[in-house]
Amino acid sequence: MTAQRQRPPEVLLQVSDLHVAYGKAEVVHGLSMQVRAGEFVVVLGRNGAGKSTVMHAISGLVPKRSGTVTFAGQDLSAASPRETVLAGIVQVLEGHRVFQTLSVEDNLLIGTYARAPRGDRSKLDRVYALFPELAERRQQMASRLSGGQQQILAVAQGVIGDPKLLILDEPSGGLAPIVIDRILDVASQLCASGLAILLVEQLVEKALRHAHYGYLVETGRIAAEDFSGALGEGDLLQRVFLGGHAHHGEEATA
């Protein structure tokens, strides 16, 4: 994907001067970032940099020490997870867990609880069209899906809630490159249809290929940000990730 010259004008998500602490230990130190309407934004950074913490703070899953989050003009700085979902932010958690003892379809129906009227099959049909591998297995118990299929089900569970912003926290976790490509392709497709994407990923090359814009997080701060093409140039990312994660160097094995 070629880099755009300008970010879209409309700011969808604005995180400003965010501080987050676990107990007394502050792990996010005044971080600011944006997702603009229609954008696919990636957040890169080493293990422990604070990426998931920032996503959880956006979703209301961890309290903010200070700072603000606004979304589509709404102040979500003190919002609960339910309020952020209702505002249109859906986060697929790291690890992509699904309900093992429920069928594929029941897992999907759970994903609609907050935002869809009961008995509305149109959302199911839309998601099955997007993920034919799930349509084929709709009555199968989730525990009998492969790891990759479960990961795809978790993404589908996020999509069916019809968010305005979909947050994907390391969809690659432990998966074969072909499954990651599938998830990132679907994310790009969703983005092209108007959904904004905020992706946390350590597979730098793959992520930058799909994203429009990227942020690099180092120890709870934004160390760099740029259009994805520019962010991948030079040796900055290599320096940051050098020896940092086994996933790096993915292209050799993909």
Ligand X SMILES: Nc1ncnc2c1ncn2[C@@H]1O[C@H](COP(=O)(O)OP(=O)(O)OP(=O)(O)O)[C@@H](O)[C@H]1O
* Residues engaged in binding ligand X (CB under 6 A): 22, 27, 45, 47-53, 94
Taking the CB of residue 27, how many other CB atoms lie within 10 A of it?
17
- Which among 243, 252, 212, 217 is positioned nearest to 230, based on CA atoms? 212
Residue placing its CB nearer to ligand X in the complex, 229 or 244: 244
Taking the CB of residue 6, how many other CB atoms lie within 10 A of it?
7
Q: Which does 100 bind (CB under 5 to 8 A by kind): Mg ion, ligand X, none?
A: none
Residue 97 and residue 132 in contact, taking contact as beta carbons nearer than 8 Å: no
Residue placing its CB nearer to Mg ion in the complex, 94 or 205: 94
Nearest residue to Mg ion, using CB?
A: 52
Structure tokens of 240?
Answer: 């940051």
DSSP secondary structure string for all residues of 224-239: EEEEHHHHHSSSHHHH
Q: Which does 22 bind (CB under 5 to 8 A by kind): ligand X, Mg ion, none?
A: ligand X
* 24: CB partners within 8 A, 6+ apart: none
Q: Which does 218 bind (CB under 5 to 8 A by kind): ligand X, Mg ion, none?
A: none
Q: Measured between alpha carbons, how far is 164 from 72 in angstroms, rounded to an integer? A: 9
Residue 36 CB, shortest distance to Mg ion, in Å, is 23
Residue 191 CB, shortest distance to Mg ion, in Å, is 21
Residue 59 CB, shortest distance to ligand X, in Å, is 13
Residue placing its CB nearer to ligand X in the complex, 43 or 85: 43
The answer to whether residue 52 forms part of the interface with Mg ion (CB under 5 A) is yes
Residue 237 and residue 44 in contact, taking contact as beta carbons nearer than 8 Å: yes
Residue placing its CB nearer to ligand X in the complex, 47 or 189: 47
Residue 155 CB, shortest distance to ligand X, in Å, is 17
Q: Which does 27 bind (CB under 5 to 8 A by kind): ligand X, Mg ion, none?
A: ligand X
CA distances from 46 to 49, 50, 78, 83, 157 (A): 5, 9, 28, 30, 27
Residue 51 CB, shortest distance to Mg ion, in Å, is 5
Residue placing its CB nearer to ligand X in the complex, 48 or 147: 48
Q: Which does 45 bind (CB under 5 to 8 A by kind): Mg ion, ligand X, none?
A: ligand X
Query: Rule CB under 5 A: which of 66-95 touch Mg ion?
Result: 94
DSSP secondary structure string for all residues of 118-153: TT-HHHHHHHHHH-HHHHTTTTSBGGGS-HHHHHHH
Q: Measured between alpha carbons, how far is 25 from 20 in angstroms, rounded to an integer? A: 9
Residue placing its CB nearer to ligand X in the complex, 149 or 172: 172
Residue 72 CB, shortest distance to ligand X, in Å, is 25
Which stretches of the chain bind Mg ion, using CB under 5 A? 52, 94
